[in-house]
Amino acid sequence: MNLFTEKTILTVSQLTNLIRGVLEENFEHLWVEGEVSNLAMPASGHLYFTLKDSGATIRCVMFRAAAKALKFRLVDGTRVVLRGRVTVYDQRGDYQLIGEYLEPQGLGSLQLAFQQLKERLAKEGLFAETRKKAIPLLPQTVGIITSPTGAAIHDILNVIGRRHADLRIVICPVRVQGEGAAFEIAAAIYDMNSLGEAEVIILARGGGSIEDLWSFNEEVVARAIAASAIPVISAVGHEVDITIADLAADLRAPTPSAAAELVVNSKVQMSADCAALERRLSLAMQRKLAEAASRLEIRKLSLKAPGLLIERFLQRVDDLQQRSADAMVGLVHSGRQRVAAAGEALLYKSPLHRIGSTREQLQNLSLRSRNVMRACLEEACSSVAVAAGRLESLSPLAVLARGYAVVRKLPVGSPVRRIRQLALNDCVELQFADGAAACDVRSITAAEPYKLDSHSSRH
């Protein structure tokens, strides 16, 4: 079938399958370099990221089996070299690389993994000097974690046997390289702590490549060392080999033999040191005894007869007795003076004196109060008389006495002030100063307004 000369209609899936077949057939087992970006690590364990350079990008996927084999932690910005094959992701119609192997560009994957783990554990404080424990000076029991068939165990045993043959040794055999060796080493450290017999642990292995020593660069070993209650000496590889276990340990030895020498002092040397210390102690004790004897002799010469001391003591007693008698006389005299002064003060402040003074003050106050009351009454009487005169002058009876009368309309008795309040035949009462009279209205004559106003204004 010729797709370019015949009119062949393909579905999208068919076209995608054709393209995928061409790509997978012609682009497999490629090596591609670039910078990692848009890294995603879902719970499935697969890795999804983009490889890019200055001119292009390509999507990549590394499935869980391949991702699990990575020795380092992939992060955005890492330049890598990827081996894989090109394929097409049908759902998006994108071509992508399926990664089978990945390593950092310019740096080995194991070295990068070492640097990453070292930086992360250092930030947690696992390598801090403050958490490192002291190595015991004279341990009775030493624990050794190493391969039972390697040269390291023989070197350690030779050194210990030569320097301190009767030292107790507990050996925990483990694999020191290969798959699962790191977990065996960590388990051995935990077992040593559970057993609780060893006072110090030597973690040892002979030299080798970074791959051979990788079990001592695993995080599980570093955390087991950090969690150990027993001090750990790391003696892994040669002096130039630095592992994560060396950094986490309480002490690093350049070789397994050096670790044994650090743990166990030479018995002969210790015996010689003890003998020298014994001689120094004996000489020091002799010198101290001689000095004490000399001081004792000086004290003997400085001692005096007890009779002289007693006489001086009796004289001192007499002196103190006389001084105390004089002091008592002075105190009594001073007390009498204070009592006399207090008596005079009490006499001056006697209640009788204060009662007489108070009685005189009361008499003065009583006289003053009577005078004030008399003046107030006279003033009040004068005010009442003035007010009575005013009331008398304003009394209606006084007006009636001058010939006026008060007119009230019966039967209600309401006062009549205007002529328009009356009508013919109304019954009224005239109130005079000396009595009253009832009258009937026979006629009503209204005053002229002008004359009324003039009369009103005159009154």
| Residue 46 scores a pLDDT above 80 | yes
Q: Are 66 and 74 in contact (CB under 8 A)?
A: no
Whether 408 is in a domain gets the answer yes
Given this model, what pLDDT does residue 39 score? 87
Task: Let me know whether 254 and 136 are in one domain.
Answer: yes
CA separation, residue 352 to residues 14, 151, 349, 362, 397 (Å) = 136, 119, 9, 15, 66
Given this model, what pLDDT does residue 268 score? 59
Whether 75 is in a domain gets the answer yes
Length of the chain in residues, anyone? 459
Task: Let me know whether 256 and 157 are in one domain.
Answer: yes
Global pTM value: 0.43
Task: Let me know whether 181 and 242 are in one domain.
Answer: yes
Residue 204 exposed, middle or buried by CB count within 10 Å (0-12, 13-18, 19+): buried
Task: Let me know whether 23 and 137 are in one domain.
Answer: no
**How far does CA 53 lie from the centroid of its chain?**
49
Task: Let me know whether 382 and 446 are in one domain.
Answer: no
| CATH classification at residue 98 | 2.40.50.140
Whether 419 is in a domain gets the answer yes
pLDDT bin (cut points 50, 70, 90) of residue 452 is: very low
Which residue's entry shows tokens 């554990």? Answer: 121
Q: How many CB atoms lie within 10 A of CB 224?
A: 24
**Average per-residue pLDDT for the chain:** 81
E-strand stretches of 105-223: 141-146, 168-173, 200-205
Task: Let me know whether 167 and 252 are in one domain.
Answer: yes
Task: Let me know whether 29 and 77 are in one domain.
Answer: yes
E-strand stretches of 6-46: 30-40
Given this model, what pLDDT does residue 187 score? 93
Whether 27 is in a domain gets the answer yes
Average pLDDT over every residue of 172-179: 87
| Residue 459 scores a pLDDT above 50 | no
Domain carrying residue 387: 363-394
Task: Let me know whether 228 and 135 are in one domain.
Answer: yes
Condensed to tens digits (0 to 9), the pLDDT of residues 235-248 reads: 887 777 788 888 88
Condensed to tens digits (0 to 9), the pLDDT of residues 366-411 reads: 888 888 898 899 888 988 888 887 887 777 777 777 778 888 888 8
Task: Let me know whether 406 and 448 are in one domain.
Answer: yes
Task: Let me know whether 212 and 282 are in one domain.
Answer: no
Whether 333 is in a domain gets the answer no
Total number of domains in the chain: 5
Whether 219 is in a domain gets the answer yes
Task: Let me know whether 373 and 448 are in one domain.
Answer: no
Whether 224 is in a domain gets the answer yes
Task: Let me know whether 232 and 220 are in one domain.
Answer: yes
pLDDT bin (cut points 50, 70, 90) of residue 414 is: confident
Whether 351 is in a domain gets the answer no
